Amino acid sequence: MNNKILNTLSNHKLVEVRIGLKWTAVVVDKGDHQQCGLASTLSGDHGHTGEPTIPDPGNLETSSALELAGWIESEIPLRRSIGCAAINALLTRDPSSWVDLNAEGAILEHGRGKKAVLIGHFPFANHLKEELGELTVLDLNPSGDDLPASAAPEILPEADLVAITGMTFINHTLPGLLSLCKPEAYVIILGPSTPLSPVLYDLGVNLLAGSTVENIPAVLAALGQGGNFRQIHQAGVRLITQIPSSG
């Protein structure tokens, strides 16, 4: 999956890399405009004795944007965050494929009367449970009546709708989760980290609900000072939902 997405990217000048407490951003210059990609910031011990988490910090802008995008393959979590943000900065945007429907609305539209599964406890999870009646939430850190992510092999094959956090692209669990979904399931990848890549449609995804940064300076300032997603959203992030183009 990663290589297929990387192979669709063209290189552009790297402008900035900003690593915040919650979110990571990469900005590239596409000639007539700058484009910023986001990814959730992963931290934690990468298990490499003596190897720096980020090589040559302070000088990442001298690297190739494609090189940083390749960090999505790294064993080091923070580098994968940078890699995902770089991919999101480099991907070609196709506003003609964007629809006026947010992720929560899409789940409600396609999940009513069906077995629905949400991977990742999003803020709207409780509301979805009230509306849908039958919704199972899986999470790495389950709370309430959530199930642990390890329950996916038992739960996903029976689901009619599966909504998966884009974080799974960064932690490399997305391919395995997609393989557990039955062919006729309606699959949504959602969250600001989600790559809006047509490659994912070829892997059985029906809808991508991600983000685009509309005010780059304000978003960089907010995430660089520890802003959570609600705060960077208010600073200038637009949530967008993309369906496969008819062409």
Nearest to 234 by CA among 245, 223, 246, 224: 223
Residue 46, domain member (yes or no):
yes
pLDDT tens per residue, range 64-123: 999 999 999 999 999 999 999 999 999 999 899 998 788 999 999 999 989 999 999 998
pLDDT tens per residue, range 162-203: 999 999 999 999 999 999 999 999 999 999 999 999 999 999
Are both 12 and 86 inside the same structural domain? yes
The contacts of residue 125 (CB under 8 Å, 6+ apart) are: 118, 135, 137
Whether the per-residue pLDDT at 48 is higher than 60: the answer is no
The sheet with strand 13-19 has its strands ordered as 13-19, 23-29, 34-40
238: how many CB neighbours lie within 10 A of its CB? 12
Q: What is the pLDDT of residue 45?
A: 58
Residue 55 structural domain: 2-93+214-237
Write down the pTM of the prediction. Answer: 0.94
Are both 206 and 103 inside the same structural domain? yes
Write the CATH number for 129.
3.40.50.11590
- Can you tell me the mean pLDDT for 51-63? 87
Provide the number of structural domains found in the chain.
2
Are both 10 and 60 inside the same structural domain? yes
Are both 78 and 133 inside the same structural domain? no
Residue 112, domain member (yes or no):
yes
Residue 243, domain member (yes or no):
no
Residue 244, domain member (yes or no):
no
